[in-house]
Amino acid sequence: MASRIPPFFALVALVLACSTPPERRSDIAASPPSDRVVVAPLNLALRIPAELSGKGEPVWQELLGYLHERDRQIDVLAPVSAERLWLEATADLDRTDRRAALRSAYSHFARELARHRDFDVLVVPSLLMRPGHLSGSHAHWDGVQRELPNTAALADAGLGELLSSGIRVAGLSGKVAAASLHLVLLSADGSWLHDGLGGLVLLQELQRDNAPGGALAFATREAPFADRESLREGVVRAFEGPVLTAGRR
C-alpha cells in the first residue's frame, strides 16, 4: 500500500544532506559508517507478552523493509550483545518511578551504544498486546481500524446480540485483543526523537458455540500476522504517531 514519508524521515534527510553520504557495505558487522540507522532487536526494552512470543518475525521483516525502501543504511544489532549492553546500561537506574526509569534506560542505552557504534538514529521496536475497541463490525486502536475477522458470525447473530451477549476479553466488555508495534527513536547522545504506537492486527475472532443457540465468544486467530498489508500500515503508523511510552521491562 502507498504511504507518505513520515515527518521524522524528513528530519533525518536534512541531517544526512549536511554530511558526506556513507559508503554502502554489505557486511553490517564490520565497522559501520556514520549516518547510519541502528535497529535494536524486537522487545529489547519491553518484555514481549507470552501470547506474542515467537510471532514477531513478520513484523520485523516489515520494519526492516520499510527502512530499506527509504534507502536507509541499517545496522541491525545482534540480540545477545544488545541484551548484554541493555542490562549493563540499566543496572544502576533508579526504578522508584517506573516511567521515568524506562525513559532513562532508553537514553542511557543509546549513549552506551554510541561508544561501540557510529550512528545517528537508534530504533528500539517492541511488539505489544493492546485492546481494540469495538465499534460496529470494526475495532480501532493505536491509529488503525480493522474489520472483525469472521464477520459471518456477526452477521448471523446481529450486532445487537454481539453488544448484549456479554462478550468479554480479559474481563473487559466490548474489547478485543490486538497487537501493536511500539517504537522509540533516539540520537547517539540519548535525546528522544520519536515515540510512537501503530496498531498491527487483531489477535481474536468471533466464534459461536456449536450447541443450538450457542453464545458468541472471541477465540484466538490461527495466523493473524499473515496480513502483511496490515503489518505495513501499523509500521507506518508507529513512525508517524507520537504517543507516551507504554509499559516497562
Per-residue pLDDT for 197 more than 80? yes
Percent of the chain residues topping a pLDDT of 90: 47
Give the per-residue pLDDT at 196: 93
Place of cell 545496522: 75
Question: Could you give phi then psi for residue 163, rounded to 5 degrees?
Answer: -80, -20
Which comes out higher in pLDDT, residue 57 or 158?
57
Q: Are strands 204-208 and 168-169 parallel, antiparallel or unpaired?
A: unpaired
2 domain residue, yes or no = no
Domain assignment present for 62: yes
Can you give the pLDDT at residue 73? 81
Kindly state whether residue 103 falls inside one of the protein's structural domains: yes
* Total domains present in the chain: 1
Say if 12 falls within a structural domain: no
- Output the DSSP codes for 153-222: HHHHH-HHHHHHTT-EETTEETEEEEEEEEEEEE-TTS-EEEEEEEEEEE-EEEEE-SSTTPPEEEEE-S
Strands (E), 4-160: 37-39, 74-76, 121-135, 138-141, 144-147
Domain limits at 39?
Answer: 35-240
* Least confident residue range of 1-5, 121-125, 175-179, 211-215: 1-5
The predicted-structure confidence for 62-119, as pLDDT tens digits, reads as follows 999 999 888 778 999 999 999 999 998 888 776 667 778 888 999 999 999 999 999 9
In a domain? residue 212: yes
